[in-house]
């Protein structure tokens, strides 16, 4: 029975909150962490593989390739002076001394090369400007590939009638590149042997072959020889070798 004076307040239905499920939340967190770790592992593996590929590719770019067989000799004139009779661009003058009167070059058959004496130094060859008969100084390079030279100031050169011009200007170049006649086809750089002549395997050493650090890699025990066809040849004794071989000349400088 209803009692109008004492109506009961309407009852509100409360929807209980969904209970928390900590176990499922932990699973989700672990699954997310596993996915991230798996992704990083895969990415790392791919990156490592890619890095290996890149490393191999870079190494292949810089791998030393065999030089092609030498079929002809390249003849080059070493020109340390420009048209203004100044050192050419890129040639670094590393020192300067005053020298006595030069003599004809012993190491080169080029007509404008000389042997210079300054203090305890002996430089050969030293180059004069080709068009200047009374130069004030000469330039003396160590090798044609170093890009540097020593300057020697002089007072005069010998008169032209005091020495004989060489019969063959290429008969005695001062620097050569020769190819070892074996499967490596390695190219040696050689310069005239200054000072007292020595011998290797019973033969006189005319040229010493040097690596980039100045270490001796071989010896040329004769002067270049012209052939009827193909490159010029020279007798080569690689360092430590027990016999002399004929090697083709890739480049000659005078």
Question: Are 92 and 136 part of one and the same domain?
Answer: yes
In a domain, 74, yes or no: no
Question: Are 130 and 181 part of one and the same domain?
Answer: no
Question: Are 173 and 137 part of one and the same domain?
Answer: no
Question: Are 126 and 101 part of one and the same domain?
Answer: yes
Question: Are 157 and 180 part of one and the same domain?
Answer: no
In a domain, 23, yes or no: no
151: containing domain: 79-162
Please tell me the pTM assigned to this model: 0.69
In a domain, 99, yes or no: yes
> Which of 121, 138, 162 is the last residue before a domain boundary?
162
Residue 159 has a pLDDT of 74
Residue 95 has a pLDDT of 93
Residue 36 has a pLDDT of 52
In a domain, 53, yes or no: no
- Return the sign of the alpha-carbon dihedral for residues 241, 243, 248, 249: positive
Question: Are 105 and 86 part of one and the same domain?
Answer: yes
Residue 15 has a pLDDT of 45
In a domain, 52, yes or no: no
Question: Are 127 and 195 part of one and the same domain?
Answer: no
**Chunked in runs of 10, what are the mean pLDDT values of the chain (254 residues)?**
45 46 50 50 47 46 66 94 93 93 88 89 92 90 93 86 58 91 91 79 91 90 90 93 93 94
Residue 136 has a pLDDT of 93
Residue 195 has a pLDDT of 65
Q: How many domains does the chain have?
A: 2
Tokens representing 228? Answer: 């009827």
In a domain, 151, yes or no: yes
Residue 7 has a pLDDT of 47
> Which of 145, 162, 179 is the last residue before a domain boundary?
162
Question: Are 133 and 191 part of one and the same domain?
Answer: no
Contact 224, 249 (CB under 8 A): yes
Half-sphere exposure of 134 (CA within 13 A, CB side): 1
Residue 244 has a pLDDT of 94
Question: Are 113 and 137 part of one and the same domain?
Answer: yes
Question: Are 210 and 238 part of one and the same domain?
Answer: yes
Question: Are 206 and 246 part of one and the same domain?
Answer: yes
Task: Give the distance between the most distant pair of CA atoms in the chain.
Answer: 154
Residue 178 has a pLDDT of 96
In a domain, 64, yes or no: no
> Which of 140, 162, 184 is the last residue before a domain boundary?
162
In a domain, 172, yes or no: yes
């Amino acid at each position: 029975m209803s009692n109008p004076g004492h109506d009961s307040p309407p009852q509100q239905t409360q929807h209980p909150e969904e209970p928390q499920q900590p176990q499922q939340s932990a699973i989700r967190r672990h699954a997310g962490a596993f996915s991230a770790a798996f992704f990083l592992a895969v990415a790392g593996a791919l990156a490592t593989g890619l890095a290996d590929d890149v490393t191999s590719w870079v190494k292949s770019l810089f791998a030393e390739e065999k030089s092609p067989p030498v079929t002809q000799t390249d003849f080059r004139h070493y020109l340390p002076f420009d048209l203004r009779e100044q050192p050419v661009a890129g040639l670094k003058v590393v020192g300067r001394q005053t020298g006595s009167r030069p003599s004809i070059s012993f190491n080169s058959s080029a007509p404008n090369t000389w042997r210079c004496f300054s203090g305890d130094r002996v430089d050969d060859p030293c180059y004069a400007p080709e068009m200047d008969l009374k130069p004030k100084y000469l330039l003396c390079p160590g090798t044609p590939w170093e890009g540097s030279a020593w300057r020697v100031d002089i007072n005069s050169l010998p008169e032209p009638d005091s020495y004989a011009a060489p019969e063959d200007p290429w008969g005695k170049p001062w620097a050569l590149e020769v190819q070892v006649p074996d499967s490596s086809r390695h190219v040696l750089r050689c310069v005239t042997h200054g000072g007292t002549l020595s011998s290797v395997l019973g033969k006189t050493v005319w040229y010493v072959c040097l690596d980039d650090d100045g270490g001796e890699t071989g010896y040329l025990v004769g002067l270049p020889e012209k052939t009827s066809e193909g490159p010029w040849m020279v007798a080569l004794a690689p360092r430590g070798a027990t016999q002399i071989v004929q090697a083709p000349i890739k480049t000659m400088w005078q």
